[in-house]
Amino acid sequence: MTQALLIHSGIAELEIALLKDGVLERYWSETSLEDDESQTSEGQSRVGDVVLARIKRVLPALNAAFVDIGDERDGFLSVRDAAKRGSGPREDDLKIGSLVREGEARLVQVLRDAIGEKGARIGLNIALAGRFLVFSPDGGKVLLSRRIEDEAERVRLKSIFEAMEVLKSGAGIVVRTAAIGASEEALREDAEYLAGIWEDIVEAQEEDEPPVTLHHELGFIERALRDKVGPEIERVIVDDRAAFNAARAYAVEAMPDFSEKIVLHEGPSPLFADHGIDEEIAALQLSEILLANGGWITIEPTEALTAVDVNSGKHIARSDLEATALAVNTEAAEAIARQLILRGIGGLIVIDFIPMTDGFDRLTEMLAEKLKQAGIQADAARMEGMNIVALTIKHMRASVDRRATEPCTLCDGHGRRRSVSAIARQALRQVERAAAAAPGRPIAMRVGSEIAAWLEARSGQLKSGFSRKGITALRVFPEAQRARDSFSIETMGKETPV
């Protein structure tokens, strides 16, 4: 099975797609604009950042605390995430008041991005991720990933790390699967690099006032190379020279054996279109997904949960209703698992399948197994006496739908509509296509007033993106009567400055 990682560096966003045998398996995106209104809440991820924070409120009734981490919304610190791992009393016996005090400054790490009205989830146990290991300043032991199955390799890795100087101060290490077969020198360099980052954090802690971020996680591209590239990835294709240089520079430093497998896409058509996945990615924001058998599934996110409905549609190939239900439900279960993975949906997912007598155990097992294969831990169970299966998946960041929509002001926030930034980024993707199809030709962009204002407010940042894509002439025509999510892109005959 061939696997490739595609990286699209657009005018206003970064997108990464994982392909297996040409089929889209995973998708991630992040804004590249520093002042995007979705940056701190649902745009650029803060997971992994280490922050010198201020404990704002301790809530004994919740056994948790709200913490000022410099975001619009306070971070949420539960007693589970405040307690030191693997030592001391059981979590049920701990009280948040014994672990933190109101007003004190503490080092915290972002564990999950803010989603909707919920602030970021944070913890007191710092863990710094590297290429081969995760470094914990007070972990106290060497642990190995369960996916490292070869016993001889486990013994080799554990003996290497247990002899390291960096562990003598009480630090701990979790060895990642990427460490399999790595040289002792490479492993030592990774450990010492992460230990050095921790020393820098401790030093900065003495000099800064909270709230302040003392350590930023790697950038989107570098993070993808570190966490997503393994021996099964044959190549990484990047469609932008600056992004390609950044990826190569990181690889030369952190994974030199892989650096030559990072290549620049220079074809006339856009990278995602060239691999036939652009339309599928655009469809990730649609609620209805058609099934090959004539049925369909509907995915509707809400604040509390994601509801999924299965419909048989035109599936009339069998006269046996039980067999029909099982066939449609089985195909739907596979499609639902794939959509949950691609869309990054977490939290509580409730699936209303077509009624049938038997087979629900098979469906729940299939859903959990498909998610497990993608590295996603999920709990699945049927609701007793109903045709409903409930899934729970740990949230890490906002889903594709959440990042591309905003509360609808016309209905007092009871519904959602596509956000200005999502519509603008879609229009900019079409500008990239037009520029690639007609190099050097001026481009006209006709948009509604809100989109025009968004573009104007970010014109300084966007100019660098236009330059990277070879767009030298663009004119934006605001049209007050145009629908909010409507736009048109066309090439022009005369030169117009960007």
What is the pLDDT at residue 98?
Answer: 94
Mean pLDDT of the chain: 89
Write the pLDDT tens digit of every residue in 170-197: 899 999 999 999 999 999 999 999 999 9
What is the pLDDT at residue 414?
Answer: 64
Q: Name the strands in the sheet holding 142-144, side by side, starting at the edge strand that comes first in the sequence.
A: 128-129, 133-136, 172-175, 142-144
Buried/exposed code over 342-352 (b: 16+ C-beta within 10 A; e: otherwise): bbbbbbebbbb
What is the pLDDT at residue 38?
Answer: 43
What is the pLDDT at residue 39?
Answer: 43
Domain 3-36+219-279 has CATH 1.10.260.40: no
* Domain boundaries along the sequence of the chain: 3-36+219-279, 46-123, 128-215, 286-393, 419-491
Instruction: Give the pLDDT band of residue 88 (cuts 50, 70, 90).
Output: low
In angstroms, the CA 21 to CA 179 distance is 25
3-state secondary structure of 189: helix
Of 44-48, 408-412, 450-454, which range is least confident?
A: 408-412
3-state secondary structure of 388: strand
In angstroms, the CA 198 to CA 137 distance is 7
What is the pLDDT at residue 319?
Answer: 60
In angstroms, the CA 291 to CA 313 distance is 9
Four-residue CA torsion sign, 402, 403, 405, 411: positive
Of 28-42, 336-350, 428-442, which range is least confident?
A: 28-42
Cβ-based burial of 240 (10 A; exposed 0-12, middle 13-18, buried ≥19): buried
CA-nearest of 139, 114, 148, 135 to 45 is 114
Instruction: Give the pLDDT band of residue 42 (cuts 50, 70, 90).
Output: very low
Write the pLDDT tens digit of every residue in 355-397: 998 888 899 999 999 998 888 889 999 998 899 999 999 877 7
Place of tokens 């629900």: 360
Q: Report the topology of domain 419-491.
A: Hypothetical Protein Ychn; Chain: A, (3.40.1260)
Write the pLDDT tens digit of every residue in 254-283: 888 899 999 999 888 899 999 999 999 999
What is the pLDDT at residue 316?
Answer: 57
CATH number of 286-393: 3.40.630
In angstroms, the CA 95 to CA 88 distance is 12
Architecture of domain 46-123: Beta Barrel (2.40)
Q: Name the strands in the sheet holding 347-352, side by side, starting at the edge strand that comes first in the sequence.
A: 288-290, 296-301, 306-311, 347-352, 388-393, 378-382
What is the pLDDT at residue 314?
Answer: 67
What is the end-to-end Cα distance of the chain in Å, rounded?
Answer: 44
Instruction: Give the pLDDT band of residue 400 (cuts 50, 70, 90).
Output: confident
Cis peptide before 270 (omega within 30 of 0): no
Write the pLDDT tens digit of every residue in 59-75: 999 999 999 999 989 99
Cβ-based burial of 119 (10 A; exposed 0-12, middle 13-18, buried ≥19): buried
Residue 485 CB partners (closer than 8 Å, separation 6+): 418, 423, 448
What is the pLDDT at residue 248?
Answer: 96
pLDDT-above-90 percentage for the chain: 67
Phi-psi group of 254: left, alpha or beta (phi > 0 → left; psi -120 to 50 → alpha; rest → beta) = alpha
